[in-house]
Structure 1
Amino acid sequence: MATIGLDSLYYAKITEDASGHETYDTPRVLAKAMTAELGVELVEAILYADDGPAEVVKEFKSGTLSLGVDDIGATTAQDLTGCVVDSNNVVVSRSEDGGNPVAIGFRAKKANGKYRYFWLYRVIFSVPATSLATKGDSITFSSPTIEGTVFRRNKPDGEDKHPWKAEVTEGDTGVLESTITGWFGTVYEPDFTTGI
């Protein structure tokens, strides 16, 4: 079903242990969401045998996330891009800065009024793009776009795989109400236990 809206854009800072496994801070509001575009790059391998393809393997390599937002505050910019805020509360971007990975969560409203929820487990952002224009006869809003690269997380799930995205649709069969109501309280952890 088609989506007709986008809101509730959150991020969670990541802390890594000695083995690189992630733990997530409590999610914080990133900004008011305007657009979200997610592209995925796959690695593909084809095994040829008996003059034709015998096996095909496609695996997630990385993705790109482009977010159009209303504004990015100083603290959020610091958390996402690695810039610094000086003693005068001025955001300073330096050539040596680099963003630390964060998890990104949001939801998209479907035409039936239900929502599809997302968590991207590991995203590294670059400095936001800015587009400005002079005021003419009409008012034109200018807003930042921030782009990030999506990676799989280092920490394996309960099936010893490395997830890069979690997605659930409100109201689907088997989806617990607690999964939906708690979606932005913590970064969702995959659960492969049986007997639910």
Structure 2
Amino acid sequence: MATIGLDKLYYAKITEDAGGEETYASPVQLAKAMTAELSVELAEATLYADDGAAEIVKEFKSGTLSLGVDDIGATAASDLTGATIDKNGVVVSASEDGGEPVAVGFRAKKSNGKYKYFWLYRVKFGIPATNLATKGDSITFSTPTIEGTILRRNKPDAKGAHPWKAEVTEGDTTVTAATISNWYKTVYEPSYGASAPTE
């Protein structure tokens, strides 16, 4: 089903242990979301046998997330890009800056009024692009765009896989109300076992 909206853009800082496995901080709101473009790059391999393709493997390699937002506050700019906030509250960007990866969550409204929720487990952002224009006869809003590279997370899930994205659609019969209501309280951790309970 088509989506008609985008909101509730959050991020969670990542702490890594000695083995590189992630622990996520409590999610905080990043900004008011305007656009989100997600593209994925796959690693592909084809095994040929008996004059034909015998096996084809396609695996997630990386992705790109481009976010159009209304504004990036000082704290979020520091967390996402590695910029420094000086004693006067000024955000200072240096050529040596390099932000640490964060988890990014958001939701998209569907045409039936329900939402599709997302968590991207590991996104490393670059410097936000800024578009400025002088005021003319009409009003034009200039808003920042920030682009990040999506990576798989280092920490394996219960199946030993390394997820890069979690998504759920509100109202699906196997989705509990608690999954939706807790989506922004913590970064979602995959849970396997028996089939999901219904409510």
User: 1:74 matched to which residue of 2?
Assistant: 74
Letter in 2 for 1:33: A
CA distance in 2, matches of 1:158, 1:171: 25
Letter in 1 for 2:44: E
CA distance in 2, matches of 1:137, 1:51: 66
SS of residue in 2 equivalent to 1:80: helix
User: 1:89 matched to which residue of 2?
Assistant: 89
Letter in 1 for 2:108: A
User: 2:112 matched to which residue of 1?
Assistant: 112
SS of residue in 2 equivalent to 1:76: helix
> Following superposition, which runs of at least 4 residues in structure 1 exceed 3 angstroms of deviation?
none
CA distance in 2, matches of 1:81, 1:47: 41
| Percent of aligned positions that are identical | 75
For residues 31-87 of structure 1, the C-alpha deviation after alignment (integer angstroms, 9 at most, x for no partner) is 000000000000000000011100000000000000000000001100000000111
Letter in 2 for 1:18: A
Letter in 2 for 1:68: G
CA distance in 1, matches of 2:89, 2:174: 48
SS of residue in 1 equivalent to 2:163: coil
User: 2:175 matched to which residue of 1?
Assistant: 175
CA RMSD, Structure 1 to Structure 2 (Å): 0.6
User: 2:154 matched to which residue of 1?
Assistant: 154
Letter in 2 for 1:69: V
For residues 93-135 of structure 1, the C-alpha deviation after alignment (integer angstroms, 9 at most, x for no partner) is 1010101000000000000000000000000000100000111
User: 1:128 matched to which residue of 2?
Assistant: 128
CA distance in 1, matches of 2:108, 2:102: 20
CA distance in 2, matches of 1:99, 1:63: 17
Segments of structure 2 that go 5 or more residues without pairing to the other structure are none
SS of residue in 2 equivalent to 1:78: helix
CA distance in 1, matches of 2:127, 2:13: 17
Letter in 2 for 1:143: T
Segments of structure 1 that go 5 or more residues without pairing to the other structure are none
What is the CA distance between 1:173 and its match in structure 2? 1.6
